[in-house]
Every structure is written in structure tokens, then in C-alpha cells.
Amino acid sequence: MQFVVLRDVTGSVQITVVKNEKPQLAEIVSKLTTHSFIDVEGECVNAPQVKLGGLEILPTKIVVQSVADMIPIAEDSSPDIRMDYRWIDLRSEKNVLIFQIGTAFEKHCVDWFVKNDFIGIHTPKITAISSEGGSEVFEIKNYFGQKAYLTQSPQLYKQMSMCAGFDRTFEIADCFRADPSFTSRHATEFTAIDVEMAHIESHHDVMDCQEELIRYALKMVQQEYGQRYKQVFEKDMITISDNKFPRIPLLEVYEILEKQKGYTVPRALKGDLDPEGERLIAEYVKEKYNSDFVFVIDFPAKN
């Protein structure tokens, strides 16, 4: 008997070849290597003993499109090596699922925006001036004989859309910042969900918008991918309740960190939170409110 696990973006299935019944197919299978590309025709039959969905394919035809060389990465390869062969690394079931969930999340964000009367816009990513001022911009020295910049955000164009009377706009797009960070906060190039709204009463309207968007998108993703996520990652996907996200003033956050977590934000960072403070307040909120989200509010107008 010969067994081949055939996988594409939709999942995996077992191919079973009985050598003495299909010697020509057996010869083809014997020459295959891991990650080779093949086309298979055959009969799909019930096979309760097979772990891959209780099904197997008994092939009548196998066409080899490409025989793969030895795979240059393994499950325990370092991130640097995996990035060198990213197109191979992405073939794993976990990585495929991450991209599928990301696609679904973005789709449901757009659905929520449309249902709530937002207009989608696509703003320029090369501009004549920096979007938000400051020095953290990538300069293009010769843009048809002039200087130009990669945009830090669509802020200027969003504000113009308000002047145009659009009232509510959104954009999901790349932003660029000349910030030489090498952490999980890496901001050199990132994808942002940008929103602009007219006629609001306070910043709480903005938080309400964020909260409703996140709750809707995550609930829809949970319905679509929650079970598969648990099978692949062996843990539950993040769940979200109908309770309001906690909104805690910054000074109260400092007090919670000191009394509950034994941590004091460095004096030089007073008026803000450092990464460790953010991690600990998120931990506290999860423990007390069973929420993975929190708004820290009432930052000082001036340090």
C-alpha cells in the first residue's frame, strides 16, 4: 500500500494506492517527494479508519506537475530562515488559516461600515507633504523632479471627505512611517483601518464606533472559523461578549498597576503608558472583566 496526503488551500485528503492493482500509479508515487505538485483523478470513498475526514481517494490517474527538491525549512527552523523561504512556510495549515481568518475579518469590517452608512475611499499613498508632520516620513527625492513622501496616514484626505459632505468614510490601506522599531509594534509599514465621522458629541462616539466594529467582525469570524481554529491551534478563538469594553482613566490605571500588579510606570513616561504597563492593565482587565479589550481614557492635555 502507498499513501499520499494531498493538500490544497481547501484542506487535505488521503490518496491510497494498492501497488499490485495499480503498478503504474505506484511507480509514479514512489518518485514523489514532499511538497511535489500533482493532479489526481479517482473515486472518493468512505474510510472511517482515515483520520483526514474519514475519506480517501482511490486514484485512476495521477499527473505529476512538479517534483520538489528537498525542503529547505523545517518546523523548528528559525524565523529568519523561514522568512527566506516564506512561500514554502505559508503552505502550512496554520498559516493558511491565519490568512483566511484575516480575509474574513476584513470582509466583515467592510460589511459593518456599509451597513452603517460609511463610504469607502482610496487615498493617495504618495503625497507632496507629510500627512501628520514630523520627521518620521519616507522621502522620495525624485518624484518627476520634485520631492514627495510616502503617506503616514490618510488623515488629510479623510478630513477633506468630511468637507465634501460624506459624513462617514473609511479606508483599509497601508501606511508608512520611518520609525526604526524592531518590536511587535513595528510601524514602518502596516495596514490600518481608518475612520472619519462628522457630527459627533465626544470621543465616546468614536469609541462606540470602534467597539461595535470589533464586536461585529469578531463575532462573525468566530461563527465561521471558531471550530476550525480550535482544531488547528488546539485552543479557543478569542470570544467577545455584549458587555461594554471597560473605559478606565489613565490616573486610575496607574493606581491599578501599582496596587494590583506592583508596577509603577517610569517617571519619564508619566502621562502615557509603556508596553509593560499596557500588558499588565490588559491582564487586569481580562481577570476582572473577562474582556480582551480596554479603553484607557482621560490622558492629560499636557504632560
Which one-letter amino acid corresponds to residue 46? Answer: N
Residue 100 has what pLDDT?
96
Residue 14 has what pLDDT?
95
Statement to judge: residues 176 and 284 lie in one domain: no
Statement to judge: residues 47 and 106 lie in one domain: no
Pairing of strands 55-66, 37-46: antiparallel
Are the C-beta atoms of 4 and 29 separated by less than 8 Å? yes
CA dihedral 73, 77, 81, 85 (to 10 degrees): 30
Residues 121-153: tens digit of each pLDDT: 999 999 988 766 666 889 998 999 998 999 999
For 295, residues 6+ apart whose C-beta sits below 8 A from its C-beta are 207, 245, 246, 247, 248
CATH code, 219 = 3.30.930.10
Statement to judge: residues 266 and 293 lie in one domain: yes
Statement to judge: residues 236 and 253 lie in one domain: no
pLDDT of 268 > 70? The answer is yes
Statement to judge: residues 171 and 192 lie in one domain: yes
Statement to judge: residues 203 and 102 lie in one domain: yes
What predicted TM-score, i.e. pTM, was given to this entire model? 0.88
Helix%, strand%, coil% for the chain, nearest 5? 35, 25, 40
Which residue range forms the structural domain that includes residue 303? 242-303
CATH code, 29 = 2.40.50.140
Statement to judge: residues 23 and 138 lie in one domain: no
Which one-letter amino acid corresponds to residue 103? Answer: T
- Is residue 144 one of the residues assigned to a domain? yes
Residue 38 bridge partners (DSSP) = 64
Domain count along the chain: 3
pLDDT of 303 > 70? The answer is no
Q: What mean pLDDT is predicted for residues 206-214?
A: 96
Q: What mean pLDDT is predicted for residues 225-240?
A: 92
Query: What mean pLDDT, rounded, does the chain reach?
Result: 92
